Amino acid sequence: MIFQSQAGASGAALYDAHCAVCHGENGKGGVGVPLSLPSFLAGADDDYFRKTIRLGRPGRVMPAFDQLSEDEVSAIIAHIRGWSEHEPVVFSSTWQAKGDVTHGGLLYQQYCAACHGKHGEGGSGTGVTFSRPRDLPIIAPALNNSGFQAAASDQMIRQTLMHGREGTPMGSFLEQGLSQQDIDDVIRYIRSFGGEQPEHKPGRSDDAVLVVESSSSFEDTVEALRQTIVGENFRLIREQSLDKGLVAEGHENSKQHIIYFCNFSFLNKVLAIDPRVGMFLPCRVTVVEHEGKVLLMTINPLRLSQLFNNAELDKYCKEMLQLYEGLLEEASL
């Protein structure tokens, strides 16, 4: 569980409290990427971990843990280091690769873009859960992410490009015939992504709920909603009063009527983007009679999406918002 800072706790306890739920208790990955991969631990220095914990990855699920003290961050890093027999590597944070950004761009598109994206946007989905087979446990990092750009030093990127990451699809560029200068050119190109990433601000200016007043009676509105949902190729999965299961049968408030529905293809896609979308599920609209008005109400998925720090999910939430708006509009006529 993600709790507030726990001064004095051991690295294991802190890892368990803040990291294990996503990265797995032994760092094998889950919603978060695997951390215990030996080649990763051998190729990432403490500064990379420290900045990653502090800054997170805006729009890429990993939140910023700015509530932890320096000692707590160090304790977590030490715990993660315990999974490897390698001595921690130390990279210079000031050394900068010198290279030709144009040539680096050509090489990047040839060797890197297939996995890391044309603009460094990274692979799709979250860590491993629901997103990919568990025997392919690495999502290609978003190299254009401001968190990555801040956390990874040029030396660390160079080391990764030169030697690859054993156990992942990331191969050695040296073995693929690139020279050290070619690699430095690629680093310069990766650095050129730096200022291009738009700030991640999902749905913050949207209301929490969508509400439309119907011009029809309660019963007619329920029927119109039903027809609209089916007309939009959703499958009706359940209808009930809001308090069904909470109050004795026969005592439900029939003027708070929920219609649940689903597009399973859409759901399957979104689960691969972030398995925690259960918070949005199932799709639902509630028809309510309140103070003489008939209202159609539902959540605003774009407003909720801000909880997830997942820019990819935001796109689907925008789509869902438009669908909800269309449903409410049509069913209320």
Interface with other proteins in residues 215-244 (CB under 8 A): 237, 242-244
**Least CB distance to other proteins at residue 224 (A):** 14
Regarding 213 and contact with other proteins (CB under 8 A), the answer is yes
The stretch among 36-44, 117-125, 177-185, 288-296 that binds other proteins (CB under 8 A) is: 288-296
Element (H, E) at 330: helix 311-331
Q: Which C-beta is closer to other proteins: that of 69 or that of 268?
A: 268
Give the C-alpha separation, 43 to 54, whole Å: 19
**Cβ pair 153, 50 in contact under 8 A:** no
Tell me the per-residue interface mask from 145 to 184 with other proteins, x by CB under 8 A, - otherwise. ----------------------------------------
Residue 261 in tokens? 């529905």
Q: 173 or 308: whose CB is closer to other proteins?
A: 308
Q: How far is the CB of 264 from other proteins (least distance, A)?
A: 4
Taking CB under 8 A as the criterion, the residue among 10, 25, 167, 194 binding other proteins is: 25
User: Closest distance between other proteins and the C-beta of residue 150, in Å?
Assistant: 15
Based on CB atoms, which residue is closest to other proteins, 99 or 127? 127
- Which burial class, exposed, middle or buried, applies to 103 when counting CB atoms under 10 A from its CB (0-12, 13-18, 19+)? middle
Amino acid at 129: T
The angle subtended at Cα 90 by Cα 51 and Cα 28, nearest 5°, is: 60
Contact 222, 295 (CB under 8 A): no
Task: Kindly tell me which residue out of 46, 47, 166, 206 binds other proteins, with binding defined by CB under 8 A.
Answer: 206
Check binding of 56 to other proteins (CB under 8 A): yes
Give the DSSP letter string of 263-304: -HHHHHHHHHH-GGGGGGPSEEEEEEEETTEEEEEEE-HHHH
Cβ–Cβ < 8 Å for 154, 93: no
Nearest to 144 by CA among 123, 175, 163: 123
Closest CA to 15 of 68, 86, 55, 87: 68
- Binder of other proteins out of 226, 262, 318, 319 (CB under 8 A): 262
Please state, in angstroms and rounded to a whole number, the distance separating the CA atoms of residues 194 and 217.
55
b/e map 204-238, b = 16+ CB within 10 Å = eebeeebebebeeebeebbebbbebbeeeebeeee
Show contacts with other proteins in window 124-143 (CB under 8 A): 129-130, 134
Q: Which is nearer to other proteins, 191 or 284 (CB)?
A: 284
Q: Which is closer to other proteins, CB of 210 or CB of 224?
A: 210
Q: Which of 36, 74, 172, 306 binds other proteins (CB under 8 A)?
A: 306
Considering only 42-50, 177-185, 219-227, 281-289, which stretch makes contact with other proteins by CB under 8 A?
281-289
Alpha-carbon distance 282 to 325, whole Å?
Answer: 16
Q: Which of 172/216 has CB closer to other proteins? A: 216
**Least distance between other proteins and beta carbon 35 (Å):** 14
Which CB sits closer to other proteins, 67 or 102? 67
Binding to other proteins in span 68-127, by CB under 8 A: none
How many residues of this chain bind other proteins (CB under 8 A)? 74
User: Shortest approach of other proteins to residue 141 CB, angstroms?
Assistant: 18
